[in-house]
């Protein structure tokens, strides 16, 4: 298992993060629908597998088979890793669990802490029930405690699904925060990734990159007028 930061599978993106996602981080990936949360997490999963990490990918959007197909569509073939047991794809039905979803997911994550990377894409269906604010904060707190030299946890979340006053404690608990947006850039709409925070890599804070998702390829960095960092 590599001790290097976890790669996003795209060298330009990695360099904007000071080399990649530091091992042992709790990472929050925020963005609205179609902003690129799933594609980004899928690229990170493949980057981690390439670096000999073992990965558990909790998905609210795919079955095992549709995840393999989706990843293949952006040139990320994971079938061998799946067959070898180095990757576990774990579909979750968070909506059915109602207000208990965060704690049920936490228990499932705990069973996977033998793996070096745990990804939840996405946590949104666990938070649409607004009765469980305490559980949501506790979920992030406990995830943070599970992170160590050997365990990195990535959670994706739809922006706006959690009340704004709860977002600041959550963001500050996370070691890394990536904000995905779809924005107007002159005449066109572009996807952007802002590196809001990477603990231990102060120089990268605020870096913004534009990207597009290309079939058969995945995330491709594109120049945008407001890019900085």
Ligand X SMILES: Nc1ncnc2c1ncn2[C@@H]1O[C@H](COP(=O)(O)OP(=O)(O)O)[C@@H](O)[C@H]1O
Q: Summarize as ranges the residues that interact with ligand X (CB under 6 A).
A: 31, 33-39, 73-74, 213, 215
What minimum distance in Å lies between the beta carbon of 85 and ligand X? 26
- E strands along 161-206, which residues? 176-185, 188-198
Measured distance CA(92)–CA(187) in Å, rounded:
39
Cβ proximity to ligand X, 137 vs 213, nearer residue: 213
Among Mg ion, ligand X, none, the one that 33 touches (CB under a kind-dependent 5 to 8 A) is ligand X
DSSP state of 188: E
Spatial strand order of the sheet with 207-214 comes to 87-91, 55-59, 117-121, 152-158, 26-31, 176-185, 188-198, 207-214, 218-222
Cβ proximity to ligand X, 1 vs 34, nearer residue: 34
Cβ proximity to ligand X, 74 vs 136, nearer residue: 74
What minimum distance in Å lies between the beta carbon of 37 and ligand X? 3
List residues near Mg ion by CB under 5 A.
37-38
Among ligand X, Mg ion, none, the one that 74 touches (CB under a kind-dependent 5 to 8 A) is ligand X
What minimum distance in Å lies between the beta carbon of 52 and Mg ion? 26
Where do we find the tokens 């990320």?
76
Cβ proximity to ligand X, 51 vs 74, nearer residue: 74
Measured distance CA(48)–CA(4) in Å, rounded:
10
Measured distance CA(189)–CA(202) in Å, rounded:
29
What minimum distance in Å lies between the beta carbon of 61 and Mg ion? 5
């Amino acid at each position: 298992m590599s001790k290097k930061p976890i790669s996003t599978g795209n060298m330009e993106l990695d360099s904007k993060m000071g080399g990649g996602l530091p091992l042992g981080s709790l990472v929050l990936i925020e963005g609205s629908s179609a902003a690129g949360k799933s594609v980004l997490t899928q690229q990170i999963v493949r980057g981690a597998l390439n670096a000999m990490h073992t990965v558990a990918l909790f998905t609210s959007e795919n079955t095992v088979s549709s995840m393999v197909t989706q990843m293949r569509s952006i040139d990320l073939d994971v079938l061998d890793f799946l067959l070898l047991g180095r990757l576990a794809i774990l579909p979750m039905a968070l909506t059915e669990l109602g207000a208990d979803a965060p704690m049920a997911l936490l228990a499932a994550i705990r069973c996977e802490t033998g793996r070096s990377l745990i990804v939840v894409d996405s946590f949104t269906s666990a938070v649409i029930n607004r009765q469980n604010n305490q559980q949501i904060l506790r979920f992030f707190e406990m995830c943070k405690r599970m992170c160590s030299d050997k365990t990195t946890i990535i959670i994706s979340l739809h922006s706006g699904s959690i009340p704004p006053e709860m977002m600041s404690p959550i963001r500050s608990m996370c070691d890394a925060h990536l904000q995905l947006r779809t924005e107007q850039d002159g005449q066109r709409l572009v996807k952007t990734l802002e590196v809001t925070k990477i603990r231990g890599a102060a120089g990268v804070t605020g870096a913004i990159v534009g990207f597009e998702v290309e079939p058969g390829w995945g995330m491709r960095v594109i120049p945008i007028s407001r890019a900085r960092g």
